[in-house]
Structures are given as C-alpha cells and as structure tokens.
Structure 1
C-alpha cells in the first residue's frame, strides 16, 4: 500500500509553574496557567497554533497577536527539529 503524507503535527501541553501574564487582542491582561502548542507542517504552510489556558477558560491566540517573550521562548524551546518526512 502506498500513500502521500499531507500533514505532520507535533502537539505539546505545558502546565506553567508560575502563571504568566498575557494581554489578548481586546486589551485584557490575565494570568496564563497552561499553554498548548501545536506545530503543523503541511504542503501549504509551516504553522504554529497556540492556546492559552486561564483558571476558568481557554482561548486560541490569533496569528496576528503580539506574542510575549515568555511565550515565544516556549514556542522556540519545544519546536521539533524539522518534519518527520518530506512533504510533496
């Protein structure tokens, strides 16, 4: 059997030892208790989706949002070392 790989995903969930502040697109600053990061590679784009988890809810971080340094450091630290395979 043969097939074509169209997407590769790497997903992590991190519970933060110390909640970190995050200001959303409407200007609310809240403490983030956990972060879910999904690295996706497809034939269309190399992308990162981030969800922040607060004490009582969760929200997707829009791709146009300003990413604070602490969040960018987590994204960079856990980024996989390249795709598992070459997509065509």
Structure 2
C-alpha cells in the first residue's frame, strides 16, 4: 500500500525538577511545573507547540510569545533529529 505522509509529530512531556518562572502575554508571572512540547513537521510549516502546566491549570504558549531561555533550551534539547519520512 502506498500513501503520502502529510505530517510527522513528536510529543514530549517534561516534569520539571524545579519550578520555573514564565511570564505570559498579559504580564502574569507564574511557576511552571511541567512542559509539553509538540514538534510538528509538515509541508507548510516546521512548528513547535508548547503547553505550560502550572499547579492548578495549563496554558498554550502562543507562537508569538517570548520564550525564556530555560524553555528554549528544553525545546532544543528534545527536538527530534528529523522526520522519518520525506514529505512531499
């Protein structure tokens, strides 16, 4: 059977050893307990979606939001080497 791969995803959930500060787009700074990172590779975009988990809630980090260095380091550390397939 043949087919065309349209998207490859890689999802990582990380419980942080030490809570980290994150300031959202409206200026609230809260302690992040865990992070979910989803890497999506498609023909139209190489994207990363990030969800921060607090003690009592979770929130999607908008793509336009500034990400602190600790978050950028996690994104880089867990990024997959590349898709298992060549996308057309």
Q: What range describes the TM-score normalised by the shorter chain of this pair?
A: over 0.9
Unpaired runs of 5+ residues, structure 1, are none
Q: Structure 1 residue 41: deviation in Å?
A: 0.3
- The equivalent of 2:65 in structure 1 is 65
TM-score, normalised with respect to structure 1? 0.99
What secondary structure sits across from 1:76 in the alignment? helix
**RMSD between aligned residues:** 0.4
- The equivalent of 1:19 in structure 2 is 19
- The equivalent of 1:6 in structure 2 is 6
Count of equivalent residues: 88
- The equivalent of 2:40 in structure 1 is 40
Q: Structure 1 residue 83: deviation in Å?
A: 1.0
Runs of 4+ deviating beyond 3 Å: none
- The equivalent of 1:78 in structure 2 is 78
CA distance in 2, matches of 1:32, 1:82: 28
TM-score, normalised with respect to structure 2? 0.99
Unpaired runs of 5+ residues, structure 2, are none
